[in-house]
Structure 1
C-alpha cells in the first residue's frame, strides 16, 4: 500500500469513474485499476462496487476513503510547511476556478499578494463549472477552488466570501433599460440568454425562478456571464446575471444593468479540502482575495446608496 495508491483510490471515489481519473492523471485506466486492486488485496475486502455508469465505494471503501482523505490532507499540510521552512517565503499556491474569475474577483489581490510574496508562484487551473472545480480539488495537488457556493459536497469545505446581487442586462436602447428595477414576474415573457445546465450559478437561478413561479424561455445558451453580457449589449437578448465585482458599467454606455431584487443573492467563495490544512501561503492568498472582494462590495453598496436607483453606480 503506497501513498499513490491511496491518492488514486480517493480520486476514484470522488469522481465515481476509473476512466475519468485516468484522464485527469494522464494514466491508463488499467494503471488506475491496479492501484485499487493492490489496496483490495492488502485489505482483503472489495473497496469498489462496479455499476453501469461508474463505480461507488463499498462500505469498507467508504471507511478507507474517509481515513485516507484526512491523512492525505494532513500529510499535504506537513509537506507544504516543510517546504516553507526550506524555501522561506517561496513556493506555490495552486488555484482552480472558472476562466474569467481571476479578472473579476482576484485581480487586485493577485497584485497585492505578489508584492508581499514576490518569490511565490501563483498557478491557476481553469475549469468550466463548480463541479469541475470540486473534482479537481479532490483529485489534484491543488490548494483552493473559487466556486459558486452549493450544497454540501463530501470531503469539501465551502467558505462563502461575498453574495452577488442579480440584475437584468439589456441594451441601452431597450425599453426595460429605463426601469429602476425589474420584478421576476415581468420576466415570464422575456426570452433569456442562459448558461449551460452544468453551471452551478445557472442552476441556482433556475431554482429561484421555479420557487418564485417564473417560467422564462430561452433560445440562447452561452459558456459564461461575460458572453451573456456581450450578447445583451449587442441587442441579441436579455440576461439575468450576477453583478460581478470586476464589471465596470458606466451609466452612459451601451449596456444597462437593472436590479432584480426578488432574486436571492448568489454566494461565491472558497472551497478547500480542509481549511486548517492549508499552507500559510495559500491561506494568505485566500484571505487577500476575500478582503478585496468584501471591500469592493462595500464600495459598490455605498456608491449605489448615494446615487438612488442607478444600477450602474
Structure 2
C-alpha cells in the first residue's frame, strides 16, 4: 500500500469514475484500476462497487476513503508548513472560490497582503459552487475556500465572516424603485431572475420564500450574482441578491436601485478549511486580512445604505 494508491483511491471515490481520474492524472484507466486492486488485495475487502454510471465506495471503501482523505490532507498541510519554514516568507497560499468572489470580497486584502508579503505565491482556483469548493478543498491540498456558509460538511470547518442582507435589484423606472424597503407581501407574484438551483444562496432564498409563503415566477436564470444584476438593469426581471461589499457595480449606478428586504434572513459567507489550527501562518494571515477587510467594507456599505436606502446613484 503506497501513498499514491491512497491518493488515487480518494480521487476515484470523489469523482465516481475510474476514467475521469485517468484523464485527470494523464494515465490509463488500467493504471488507475491497479492502484485500487492493490489496496483491495492488502485490505482483503472490496472497496468499490461498479454501477451503470461509474463506481461508488462500498461500506468498507467509505471507511478507508474517510480515513485516507483526512490523512492525506493532514500530510499535505504538514509538508506545506515545512516548506514555509524552509522558505521563510516565500511560501504559498492556495484559495478556491467562485468566479466573482475575489473582486467583491478580497480585492483590497489581496493588495495589502501582497505589499506586506511580496514573495508569497498566491494561487486562486475557480469553482462554480460552494459544494465544488468543499470538494476541491478536501481533494486538492488547498488552504482556504471562500463559500456561502451552509450545512455541516464532513471533514470541513466553516467559519462565518459577514452576514449579507438581501436586496431587490430593480430598474430606476420600475414601480418599486421609489420604495425604501420591500416587504414579503411585495414579493408575491414578481418575475424573478433565478439564482442557480445548485447554489447554497439559491437554496437559502428558496427556503426563506417557502417559510414566508411567497410564490414567484421565473423565466430567466443565471450562474452568478453579477449577471443577475446586469439582467435586472436590462429590464428582464427583478433580482434578489445579497448586498455585497463593493456594490454598486460598474454600469449599475445610474439605472439600478438596490432596495433592502428586511424580512429575509441574511446570508452568511466566510472561510471553509479542513482544520483552522493547521493552517500555515501565511494562510492564516491572508484569511484574517480578508475577514477584516470584508467586515470593514460591509459596515461602510451598511452606513451608506442607511443614508440612501433605495438609491445607488453617485
CA contact (8 A) 2:244 2:298 kept: no
- 1:199 aligns with 199
Q: What secondary structure is seen at the aligned counterpart in 2 of 1:90?
A: coil
* Greater shift in the superposed pair: 243-252 or 279-288: 243-252
Q: Answer whether contact 2:93 2:283 (CA < 8 A) is retained.
A: yes
Change in CA separation of 1:134 and 1:28 when aligned onto 2, cut-off 3 Å = farther
Q: Distance in 2 between matches of 1:120 and 1:130?
A: 26
Q: CA shift at 1:82, angstroms?
A: 1.5
Deviates more, 1:86-95 or 1:13-22: 13-22
Can you list the C-alpha shifts for 1:201-240, whole angstroms capped at 9, x where unaligned? 1121112111211111000111211111111112221100
Per-residue Cα deviation, 1:119-145 (whole angstroms, up to 9, x for no partner): 011111111111121122222131111
The residue number in structure 2 matching 1:125 is 125
Other-structure match for 1:177: 177
Do the aligned partners of residues 87 and 230 (structure 1) sit closer, same or farther apart at CA in structure 2, a change above 3 Å counting?
A: same
- Report the secondary structure of 2:176's partner residue: helix
Q: Secondary structure at the match of 2:120?
A: strand
Paired residues, number: 312
Q: What is the match of residue 256 of structure 1? A: 257
The alignment partner of 1:175 has SS state of coil
User: Aligned with 1:177: secondary structure?
Assistant: coil
Q: Secondary structure at the match of 2:70?
A: helix
Paired residue for 1:49?
49
Q: How far is the alpha carbon of 1:24 from its aligned partner? A: 4.5
2:75 aligned partner: 75
CA separation in 1, counterparts of 2:17 and 2:56? 8
Alpha-carbon offset, residue 165 of structure 1: 0.6
Instruction: Give the Cα separation in 2 of the matches to 1:21 and 1:167.
Output: 42
> d(CA) in 1 for partners of 2:149 and 2:137?
14
| Structure 2 segments unaligned to the other structure (5+ residues) | none
Measured in 2, the distance between the counterparts of 1:101 and 1:127 equals 10
1:249 touches 1:255 (CA, 8 Å); kept in 2?
Answer: no
Please, what TM-score do these two structures have when normalized by structure 1?
Answer: 0.92
| CA apart distance, 1:25 | 4.3
Cα distance, 1:28 vs structure 2: 4.3
Partner of 1:168: 168
- After superposition, the C-alpha distances for 1:39-92 in whole angstroms (9 at most, x for unaligned) are 111111112233344433333223322322232222122211211122110122
Using the TM superposition, name which of 118-127 and 21-30 deviates more: 21-30
Alignment match, 1:106: 106
Distance 2:189 2:25 in 1: 46
User: Matches of 2:16 and 2:24 in 1, distance apart?
Assistant: 13
Computed over aligned residues only, the root mean square deviation of the Cα atoms, in angstroms, reads 2.2
Q: How does 1:1-313 map to 2 (within 5 A)?
A: 1-248=1-248, 253-305=254-306, 307=307, 309-310=309-310, 312=312
Contact 1:11/1:138 (8 A) holds in 2: no
**Contact 1:167–1:257 under 8 Å retained in 2:** yes
Q: Report the Cα distance in structure 1 between the residues aligned to 2:201 and 2:30, rounded to whole angstroms.
A: 36
CA contact (8 A) 2:166 2:260 kept: yes
Q: Relative to 1, partners in 2 of residues 1:108 and 1:26: Cα closer, same or farther, differing over 3 Å?
A: farther
TM-score, length-scaled by structure 2:
0.92
